A and B are shown apart, each in its own frame.
Chain A
Amino acid sequence: MSGIPALPALPPRGAAARRPVRLTAEERAVRRRDYFSAILFMAPALLLVSIFLLAPVVYNILISFTGWSHFKGFNRFVGLANYRHAINNPDFSAAASNTVVWVIASLVLPVLIGLGLAVLLRGLKGEEFLKTIFFLPRLVAPTAIGAIWYYVYADNGVVNTILKQVGAGRFAESWLYQASTATPAMIIAYVWQTTGLVMVLLLLGLAALPRDPIEAATVEGASRWQIFRHIVLPMLMPTVLVVTTISIIAGFTTFDLVWVMGRDYPNPSSLTLAIHQYWESFRSGHWAYGAAIAVLLGGIALIVTLLQVILQQRVESRIR
């Protein structure tokens, strides 16, 4: 679970921290001991995070500015050459444009369908049962889902069979091998997998909303749609934003599902930046170029997160 961007305020510091100085020797000793204990308590987490996550980030950024040829190491500084190489690389362009499709689709589809389902299912007789059905795909590993959906889309697979049975056989297609359908087909599998989670998160948000404004509006004769549009949706907006951010970042960094369904990379029709990054680094040995793609992916994630934080503040100031 990465990419949970909302930062809550720290609990208030103890009054002791703000009291004017003048400490007895004993108090100072207690403080020193407390500081020392705090560092000890944080040490395992700090060590793990700095050795295995933060140091790699720094290293990755550094090598993205170095030479990228096989077996030569990273000692040659080349400035922005790796980033320029990306712009002129047709595989990169294909990957980038598919990634844009992924970003838009994972922004719109799971959130829209999930929101629709959340509103629809809430309070319905079979709510628990239906919720479980929509959530079920989330429990299956993306690798397994890719393997199953690969055959769903196969030439004599589920989709084509259904098309033939309803008399639309002429629309049958090699869905994963056709440039125009490969990425949309994978996105459908992704939507099938993630919408249930989005729905559950939004239902949790809905359940936490105050009932009074909704009841007041009902008493005054507002329609269901008016209540949803003018009362529920604005109050739910903070949750929608968090869920959208998680959804976008998970969407454009998706690796396993795309890797398993695409099979013969670097086939450009379903290439994404995440796959391109893996392929260039670990299959072609273009380490520094791969590092540059990773930096670009990190940049996009950062922009999305910042946008979310800004929008969040706007939405919250409007609610109050």
Chain B
Amino acid sequence: MSVAGSSRRFALAGAATLAVLWLVPFYYAVSTICKSTAQYLSGTPLSLPPSLSSLPGNIEAAWAQTQMGQGMLNSLGYGVLGAGGAVLAAASAAYALARIVFPARTTWFMVIFAGTVFPFQIYLIPLFQGYARFGLLNTRLGLLMAYMAICVPFPTLVLRNHMGQIPRDLDEAARMDGCSHFRIFRSIILPNSTGPLIALFLLQFTWIWNDLIFSMVLTTETAQRSVMNALMVFQGNYAGTTPNLVITASVLASLPTVAVFLLLRRYFMQGLSLSVHA
């Protein structure tokens, strides 16, 4: 056997071993959600569940105790409206920056892009203080606006690059015919950007769904808090939480984004490649 062949085999074996290790936490989570509290406490954590009969009860209990329905509904709203609004605002700004000639374009762009330079920690206190003053604390609108603003700068960068590459003769002809910028944006540029638009929407939606800190700082009540906030409160509550229920709640809270990824994998990968090549 050639040297290259044996090193290839060695590589495959190494990768496969690591992959098995990588799956252990998943195996642990999936087996745990199938165990009742008594079954979990009496066996070892990696033992197989005797049957699937405890799963429905776990889901029911975790769902109810976490108030997951409310959290998911809230997060769905934050994610869809926040990511949607942000990507639209970004697309509109990117159109101006890539397609209209006007003074100080770089400076205008930098103003918007500056929003990606800082760690989130720097926004927390001012947002909390400002929201407290203007009555936005513990409101869905307040949290939504914060999410939307955070999701604007990065898509603006990506869409500006993308829109800059759409051939110019398309809209020059339209301008000759007297089309307004809005018409050109709506009927030429946006339809030519659907791929990146979907990819960016998915990335931002996932980020909003998974965020914890903004929801923790800006909402403290059950009615407005996000699904991750609900999960955090549930797992941090020492009394009455057992590993099987906490892990069931964790899996439930994660399922929507995992499902979206598996369904729309192609767009996700496109979104990721946008983020390195941007």
Q: Are A and B bound to each other?
A: yes
B128 CB to closest chain A CB (Å) equals: 7
Some 7 contacts from A to B, beta carbons below 8 A apart, are A13-B105, A44-B93, A52-B149, A130-B15, A133-B22, A140-B258, A224-B4
User: Is A256 located at the chain interface by the 8 A CB criterion?
Assistant: yes
Complex contact B276–A243 (CB within 8 A): yes
Complex contact A60–B213 (CB within 8 A): no
User: Is B38 located at the chain interface by the 8 A CB criterion?
Assistant: no
B117 CB contacts on chain A under 8 angstroms:
3, 298, 301-302, 305
Complex Cα gap A192–B112 (Å): 33
User: Is A151 located at the chain interface by the 8 A CB criterion?
Assistant: yes
A185 CB contacts on chain B under 8 angstroms:
none
Q: Mark B95-111, 1 if CB is under 8 A from A, else 0.
A: 11110111101101101
B14 CB contacts on chain A under 8 angstroms:
120
> Which of the segments A104-112, A172-180, A286-294 contacts the partner chain?
A286-294
User: Is A121 located at the chain interface by the 8 A CB criterion?
Assistant: yes
Complex contact A249–B101 (CB within 8 A): no
Number of interface residues, chain A, beta carbon within 8 A: 104
Complex contact B181–A301 (CB within 8 A): no
User: Is A208 located at the chain interface by the 8 A CB criterion?
Assistant: yes
A45 CB contacts on chain B under 8 angstroms:
89-90, 92-93, 112, 152, 156
Complex contact B28–A152 (CB within 8 A): yes
Q: Known contacts being A11-B98, A56-B127, A260-B235, is A48 close to B212, with CB within 8 Å?
A: no
- Among residues 224 to 278 in chain B, which have CB atoms less than 8 Å away from a CB atom of chain A? 228, 231-232, 235-236, 243, 246-247, 249-251, 253-254, 257-258, 261, 269, 272-273, 275-278
Q: Known contacts being A14-B101, A52-B149, is A4 close to B275, with CB within 8 Å?
A: yes
Q: Mark B133-159, 1 if CB is under 8 A from A, else 0.
A: 000000000000110111011101100
Complex contact B115–A54 (CB within 8 A): yes
Number of interface residues, chain B, beta carbon within 8 A: 106
Q: Known contacts being A60-B126, A133-B22, is A253 close to B152, with CB within 8 Å?
A: no
Contact of B251 (CB < 8 Å), options: A144, A158, A259: A144
User: Is B1 located at the chain interface by the 8 A CB criterion?
Assistant: no
Beyond A204-B276, A294-B125, 7 additional pairs, beta carbon < 8 A = A16-B101, A37-B181, A38-B108, A141-B254, A144-B251, A260-B235, A297-B119
A137 CB to closest chain B CB (Å) equals: 7
Complex contact A34–B210 (CB within 8 A): no
- Among residues 156 to 214 in chain B, which have CB atoms less than 8 Å away from a CB atom of chain A? 156-157, 161, 164, 181, 185, 203-204, 206-207, 209-213
Complex contact A278–B89 (CB within 8 A): no
Report, nearest first, the 5 A-B pairs whose CB atoms are least far apart. A52-B149, A56-B126, A144-B250, A41-B96, A45-B93
Chain B positions within 8 Å of A, measured between CB atoms, are 4, 7, 11-12, 14-16, 18-19, 22-26, 28-29, 32, 44-46, 86, 88-90, 92-93, 95-98, 100-103, 105-106, 108-109, 111-130, 145-146, 148-150, 152-154, 156-157, 161, 164, 181, 185, 203-204, 206-207, 209-213, 216-217, 228, 231-232, 235-236, 243, 246-247, 249-251, 253-254, 257-258, 261, 269, 272-273, 275-278
Complex Cα gap A157–B25 (Å): 11
Complex contact B278–A287 (CB within 8 A): no
Q: Tally inter-chain residue pairs, CB-CB below 8 A.
A: 310
* Residue of B whose beta carbon sits closest to that of A207: B273
B34 CB to closest chain A CB (Å) equals: 15
Complex contact B213–A42 (CB within 8 A): no
* Residue of B whose beta carbon sits closest to that of A273: B121
Complex contact B261–A139 (CB within 8 A): yes
A284 CB to closest chain B CB (Å) equals: 12
User: Is A63 located at the chain interface by the 8 A CB criterion?
Assistant: yes
B21 CB to closest chain A CB (Å) equals: 9
Complex contact A148–B250 (CB within 8 A): yes
B253 CB contacts on chain A under 8 angstroms:
141, 143-144
Complex contact A255–B100 (CB within 8 A): no
Q: Mark A151-162, 1 if CB is under 8 A from B, else 0.
A: 110101110011
Complex Cα gap A162–B98 (Å): 57
* Residue of B whose beta carbon sits closest to that of A290: B125
What is the predominant secondary structure among interface residues of chain B facing chain A?
helix
B106 CB contacts on chain A under 8 angstroms:
10
Complex Cα gap A147–B55 (Å): 18
Complex contact B44–A294 (CB within 8 A): no
B221 CB to closest chain A CB (Å) equals: 15
B65 CB to closest chain A CB (Å) equals: 14
B257 CB to closest chain A CB (Å) equals: 6
Complex Cα gap A208–B273 (Å): 10
- Among residues 203 to 222 in chain A, which have CB atoms less than 8 Å away from a CB atom of chain B? 204-205, 208
User: Is A268 located at the chain interface by the 8 A CB criterion?
Assistant: no
Complex contact A60–B149 (CB within 8 A): no
Q: Known contacts being A45-B156, A48-B152, A49-B112, is A281 close to B124, with CB within 8 Å?
A: yes
Complex contact B212–A294 (CB within 8 A): no
- Among residues 181 to 210 in chain A, which have CB atoms less than 8 Å away from a CB atom of chain B? 192, 197, 200-201, 204-205, 208
User: Is A102 located at the chain interface by the 8 A CB criterion?
Assistant: no
Complex contact B149–A10 (CB within 8 A): no
* Residue of A whose beta carbon sits closest to that of B257: A139
A280 CB to closest chain B CB (Å) equals: 10
Complex contact A133–B23 (CB within 8 A): yes
Contact of A200 (CB < 8 Å), options: B109, B212, B232, B272: B272
Complex contact A141–B100 (CB within 8 A): no
* Residue of A whose beta carbon sits closest to that of B261: A139
Complex contact B105–A4 (CB within 8 A): no
B269 CB contacts on chain A under 8 angstroms:
200, 204
